[in-house]
Amino acid sequence: MNAVEIDGLTYTYPGAAQPTLNNISLRIEKGDFLAVVGNNGCGKSTLCKVLNGLIPHFITGDFRGEARVAGVNTLESDVGALARKVGYVYQDFENQIVRPTVLDDASYACLNYAFSDYLERGKTALRQCGLEGREEEYIWQLSGGQTHLLALAGAVSLSPDILILDEPIAQLDPMHADRIYQVLRDLNEKQGKTIIVIEHHTEYIADYCRHVLLLRDGSVQWLLPTDQALQRVEELEACSIFPPQVTQAAHRLQKAGRLPAGAALPTTVAQGRDAFASLRYRPVSAPPSAARPAEQLAVSFRDVSLSYRSVKGEPRTVFDGLNLDIRHGEKVALIGSNGAGKSTLMKMMVGLLRPQSGTVSLFDQPIGEKKAEDLSRQISLVYQNPEEMFIKDSIRGDISYAMQVRGVPDWQRRTDALLERFHLTGLQDRDGRLMSGGQMRRASLAIGVALEPGILLLDEPTANLDIATRREITSVLEDMKDIIQTAVIATHDMQLVCQWAERIIVLCGGRVVADGSRDEIFSRQDLAELVGIRPPEIFSMARALAPAALCYTIDEFSDCFQEA
């Protein structure tokens, strides 16, 4: 039996010249765990919004063809009825949280449907989503991962046959990402739910999904079992989808003649143990790193303590007696689980938050003694959600705003230069909030460096982006070396950390639990268990083959593992 049946579906948004979905015919089996992949703009989210009736009942347009979910024709039903058939957790899941306490929110949809047992349905959904025992907590007491699970519980409470999640782990650390997917697996295997995820993290697709659907330019390229789908490396890469690093490495070694031609490519580390068993680790000596001269302190924290007031219970202490130095010229990555204090640390650096005790200094001067206009010329924060940085109705206006109001000489020429540098000239008249994720991220970086601050802070610069766009942003960061002397990034993207950062600071519970190079951080298993961080998959693959191996990229793996 099929959970979804689509025949001849073509859909065009109002005012669009071309259809976003083009003659799609598709069958999704009941009880499947399906990943929908494709490059940005290929129609993934649009297709899923057809399934829950938002298109065309709420989002109008030219709709042709037929879509049936759980036996119901979406055109003959309405959004309210379809919500009981298809639960949807959006990429910006926090907008789905509407009530102050956990049980109140989980049961709210059922209350709207006037179910007499709405509270019991909410409690059951919380138990199924791993939030049992938190019923009376306020939503702001939850971590990012727990909040995402609460949004899922709200959808589950209506007992839909199908659950759709758009980028379910985009803003989560590995520990919470694992938990989300374990809950989805339980809902799939124990509750019989059909799970559909829009996902760019192919290592999770390999571990959890049964089938993969590839969309390209609004059309279905194929729907295949996961093992077969991830073997199509070149076809996926042409759509800006990158298979697991283990698969990419095996594909490269096959082409180089170091693995048997035609053999199935591994898609997990466990499969990689067998596939790479014939190779031997031969360390490549890295060039000695140049000793960095003692630099001036850029940022310093001295005995800093900060707590957030709590509506319920005692204030939540984030930092208690923190001491930390960041020196001029460093490229620093802040890592740690959701709620570890990374964003709070950055907000203190720019003066958005003030500690209850202790001192935060910028170039040896306490931030509290600096004028806001002087501070903004020395340090800039690029927010996790780039749309929060757009205040004008065009990108040109957003980039030029800070320079204009401060009377920066030749601000128009500098605006032109920034638009050119960040490949935004052709988009300069567009509203930033209406651009793609990668375009918004580039625009927010241009806004952040407009005043040429000596220190740039970036909060999750690659969150919610597909792999190709994440690579583009990494390249942009490398190109900014001549503008930014000191940079600090808070991120869960371990590939970005390993490729970009010179120094890694690990936060846990408001404490610095580790501070060092990538080798010093990722070679410590105790640290990974304590904080829930995870190195890139290719690092784990190399260590599984040779415990002494420290390979952070596919290039390094290919260089170090040779034929016996």
Q: What is the pLDDT of residues 367-376, one digit of tens each?
A: 988 888 888 8
Total residue count of the chain as it appears in this document: 564
> 537: how many CB neighbours lie within 10 A of its CB?
23
Kindly report the CATH number that applies to the domain delimited by 2-236: 3.40.50.300
pLDDT at 554 over 60: yes
Helix crossing, 144-156 with 174-189: angle to 10°?
A: 20
Residue 18, helix vs strand vs coil: coil
Residue range 29-66, pLDDT digits in tens: 999 999 999 987 789 999 999 999 999 999 999 999 99
Q: Residue 210 burial (CB < 10 Å; 0-12/13-18/19+)?
A: middle
The conformation of residue 476, written as its DSSP 8-state character, comes to H
Kindly report the CATH number that applies to the domain delimited by 297-533: 3.40.50.300
Please state the separation of Cα 233 from the chain's center in Å. Answer: 22
One DSSP character per residue, 38-67 reads: -STTSSHHHHHHHHTTHHHHTS-SEEEEEE
Q: State the span(s) of the chain assigned CATH 3.40.50.300.
A: 2-236, 297-533
Q: Residue 148 burial (CB < 10 Å; 0-12/13-18/19+)?
A: buried
The overall average pLDDT reported for the chain is 90
Helix crossing, 174-189 with 118-128: angle to 10°?
A: 120
Residue 258 to residue 561: CA distance in whole angstroms: 10
The two structure tokens encoding residue 320: 């208690």
Residue 128 to residue 193: CA distance in whole angstroms: 12
Q: How does strand 86-89 pair with strand 33-37?
A: unpaired
Q: Residue 547 burial (CB < 10 Å; 0-12/13-18/19+)?
A: exposed
User: If residue 477 lies in a helix (H) or strand (E), which one and from where to where?
Assistant: helix 467-479
Question: Is residue 414 within 8 Å of 404, Cβ to Cβ?
Answer: no
Structure-token match 């959004």, residue found: 79
The two structure tokens encoding residue 164: 């759709």
- pTM, rounded to two decimals: 0.84
Q: How does strand 503-508 pair with strand 331-335?
A: parallel
> Is it true that the peptide bond before 409 is cis, omega within 30 degrees of 0?
no
One DSSP character per residue, 87-102 reads: EEE-TTGGGG--SSBH
**What is the mean predicted confidence (pLDDT) over 263-274?**
94
Give bridge partners of residue 157 from the DSSP assignment: none
pLDDT at 293 over 60: no
pLDDT at 495 over 70: yes
Which of 232-246, 496-510, 523-537 is the least confident region?
523-537
**What is the mean predicted confidence (pLDDT) over 412-429?**
91
**What is the mean predicted confidence (pLDDT) over 138-166?**
90
Instruction: State residue 460's pLDDT score.
Output: 85
Instruction: State residue 312's pLDDT score.
Output: 67
Closest CA to 167 of 204, 214, 219: 204
